[in-house]
Amino acid sequence: MLAQKFYKKDDVPGILKITLELDPDYELNFVDNLEDMMLFRAFLQEQEIHKTLDYIRRNYQNKFTQHELDGALIEYYIRELKRHGDALINDVCCATTTAIYKNIKTYIPNGVEYCLRNDETIKTIEVE
């Protein structure tokens, strides 16, 4: 893991400041790109992939703390885009929910998560 490269047992916890260079042409943006959202939705409704979707649903599930089904579906979508020569995806941007409230679990997004698929998008890393 990236964080483990910067952590030693006796270290005082710090904050990693990471500078990214993202290219929207190579990004799936499920936060504010309506076209990406619509294309993904249309993909999931294609009849010819239903057997694969059934397999994915049987093997992955979403939990409050980990949305592994969503991740598997997005990964399958990216592989199909690549297989058809339609796109190279360097990162995925999604709204995320983190349990920050006492006594309540809500799925209302309270953050944005980037899944970096190409470490060349990382330009600098600093520990503060």
Per-residue pLDDT for 68 more than 80? yes
Confidence band (pLDDT; 50, 70, 90) for 15?
Answer: confident
Burial pattern 13-34, b for ≥16 Cβ within 10 A else e, equals eeeeeeeeeeeeeebbbbeeee
Q: What is the pLDDT of residue 96?
A: 85
Taking residues 83-104, report their average pLDDT.
85
pTM (two decimals): 0.79
Q: What's residue 31's pLDDT?
A: 95
Q: Cβ(95)–Cβ(74) under 8 Å?
A: no
Owning domain of residue 103: 3-127
Give yes or no for a contact between 127 and 14, defined as CB atoms under 8 angstroms apart.
yes
**Mean pLDDT, residues 123-128 taken together:** 88
- The secondary structure of the chain, three-state, reads CCHHHHCCCCCCCCCEEEEECCCHHHEEECCCCHHHHHHHHHHHCCHHHHHHHHHHHHHCCECCCCEHHHHHHHHHHHHHHHHCCCCCCCEEEEEECCCCCCCCCCCCCCEEEEEECCHHHEEEEEEC
Number of domains in the chain: 1
User: Does position 4 have pLDDT exceeding 70, yes or no?
Assistant: no
C-alpha distances in angstroms, 2 versus 16, 100, 107, 123, 125? 10, 23, 27, 14, 10
